[in-house]
Amino acid sequence: MKKTPFVTLQQVNEICRQYPTPFHIYDEKGIRENARALKKAFSWNKGYREYFAVKATPNPFLLKIFQEEGCGVDCSSYTELLMADALGFSGENIMFSSNATPEKDFLLAHKIHATINLDDFSDIETLDRLAGIPETISCRYNPGGSFTIGNSIMDFPANAKYGFTRKQLTAGYKLLMEKGAKHFGLHAFLASNTIANEYYPTLAKILFQTAVELHQETGAHIAFINLSGGVGIPYKPDQQKNDIFAIGEGVRKAFEEILVPAGMGDVAIYTELGRFMTGPYGGLVATAIHEKKIYKDYIGLDACAANLMRPAMYGAYHHITVLGKENAPADHVYDITGGLCENNDKFAVDRELPEIQLGDRIFIHDTGAHGFSMGYNYNGKLRSAEILLKEDGSFQLIRRAETPADYFATFDFTDFFKNIKN
């Protein structure tokens, strides 16, 4: 089976006249259409808001697209908060969800009036000591045990480092109320990259029931319930993608069944999707620069795991298209590699592809989330450029490629590299 790239060989070759490979490229049209579909799927909830997970694709040009589409941002660090604030996201449009949180991060989140989502009971005293407890606060819930959909185990929250236990939630809400909190949020993330329309509705039932119990136990006003992320994408071509309208309808039914009868029909629903929002709308474009035939056939690219870590890190599958050969028979078997001094630097192993010649452009699919953002500089490799394919078919540089001067910039207190040129 095949996946169809959102960019053509002709377009890539045009881009390469100005910006050499490798580079990550993003599809503005696809991103905007997807954001609008998500908003429509949850339009039944008056307070609904999507907070795009900045960690997935931390590029200001993309964040501005989400801002234009009415989304907020989910930040997890000091630097991400700085980015959100610089781009003009207002306090209520910034969600701060962190763990093992440095004090300076809490201070900045409080200063810019972000909604703070506490990860641990001890964070209550820390935040109170540093800046005081705001009137609106959220807590992250970890129900422990295993998380199942039907008869299938999706993940094991008991092994996760995140969140309050159920008893801690009740105690935490009471303590926060004593310290001045008036409006509460409830948040949970129980499984990653699910290809199941039932994930959000199942999670929603857990959170909705917990919210009703917390309201009854503490009298706290539950202002919003944050379903976080976890709605995934089909990396493999034979996988069925999630139906966001079916997902939204499933959450609506749970809302009507649990929250409305409890007199909590004013609760806003939030989401913090990253992978779902940008994953399919990004690709890594590279060039075949080396061919090796020993015990296997290898094609070496000018990109490596420093540009896309997921396959090397945990064997993740990313589909590969040889641009211009979309309809050619996949009658060759290759390992597609980078040039790092690590044997796991492979984008694909024993992958059936058309015959590849040196100079062919390679499109690696679904890198729009957790692609560029997980990059690193091992072996002195430099991070690539990022390109936006605009709705009108033109393209825009949205991050330049790193240079050797960038790599050596943190040694600017020495004279060792003063003569380094790009």
Query: Which listed residue (16, 75, 304, 341) is catalytic?
Result: 341
Q: Please spell the DSSP secondary structure of 134-193, one letter per residue.
A: -SEEEEEB---S-EEETTEEEE-GGG-S-SB-HHHHHHHHHHHHHTT--EEEEE----SS
Mean pLDDT of the chain: 96
Pick the CATH number of 28-278 from 3.40.1190.10, 3.20.20.10, 3.30.70.260, 3.40.190.10: 3.20.20.10
Residues 95 and 54: their CA atoms lie apart, in Å, by: 10
pLDDT digits (tens, 9 = 90+) for 287-325: 999 999 999 999 999 999 999 999 999 999 999 999 999
pLDDT digits (tens, 9 = 90+) for 35-84: 999 999 999 999 999 999 999 999 999 999 999 999 999 999 999 999 99
Q: For the residues 85-97, what does the mean pLDDT come to? A: 96
Q: For the chain, what percent of residues have pLDDT higher than 70?
A: 99
Residues 203 and 207: their CA atoms lie apart, in Å, by: 6
Give the per-residue pLDDT at 272. 97
Q: In the chain, what's the furthest Cα-to-Cα distance?
A: 71
317 phi and psi angles, rounded to 5 deg: -90, 130
Domain 280-411 fold: Lyase, Ornithine Decarboxylase; Chain A, domain 1 (2.40.37)
Among the listed residues 193, 153, 188, the one whose alpha carbon sits nearest the alpha carbon of residue 314? 193
- Cβ atoms of residues 38 and 233 within 8 Å: no
Give the per-residue pLDDT at 376. 94
148 phi and psi angles, rounded to 5 deg: -125, 150
What's the pTM value of the predicted model, to 2 decimals? 0.95
Question: Which pLDDT band, with edges at 50, 70 and 90, does 359 fall under?
Answer: very high
Give the per-residue pLDDT at 418. 81
Which residue type sits at 149?
Answer: I
64 phi and psi angles, rounded to 5 deg: -65, -35
The answer to whether residue 417 scores a pLDDT higher than 90 is no
The answer to whether residue 405 scores a pLDDT higher than 80 is yes
Q: Could you tell me which residues come within 8 angstroms of residue 260 by beta carbon, excluding any fewer than 6 positions away?
A: none
Which residue type sits at 255?
Answer: F
Residue 297 CA: distances (Å) to CA of 2, 68, 289, 337:
22, 47, 14, 10
Q: For the chain, what percent of residues have pLDDT higher than 90?
A: 92
- Cβ atoms of residues 361 and 20 within 8 Å: no
Give the per-residue pLDDT at 155. 75
Give the per-residue pLDDT at 148. 84
User: 135 or 417: whose pLDDT is higher?
Assistant: 135
Q: For the residues 359-383, what does the mean pLDDT come to? A: 96
Q: For the residues 103-112, what does the mean pLDDT come to? A: 98
Q: For the residues 395-414, what does the mean pLDDT come to? A: 95
Give the per-residue pLDDT at 151. 59
pLDDT digits (tens, 9 = 90+) for 14-23: 999 999 999 9
Among this protein's residues, is 16 annotated catalytic?
Answer: no
Q: Which two tokens stand for residue 305?
A: 């795991």
pLDDT digits (tens, 9 = 90+) for 140-199: 999 998 888 775 767 788 898 999 999 999 999 999 999 999 999 999 998 889 998 999
Give the per-residue pLDDT at 19. 98
Q: For the residues 118-130, what does the mean pLDDT come to? A: 98
Question: Domain residue spans in the chain?
Answer: 28-278, 280-411
The answer to whether residue 422 scores a pLDDT higher than 80 is no
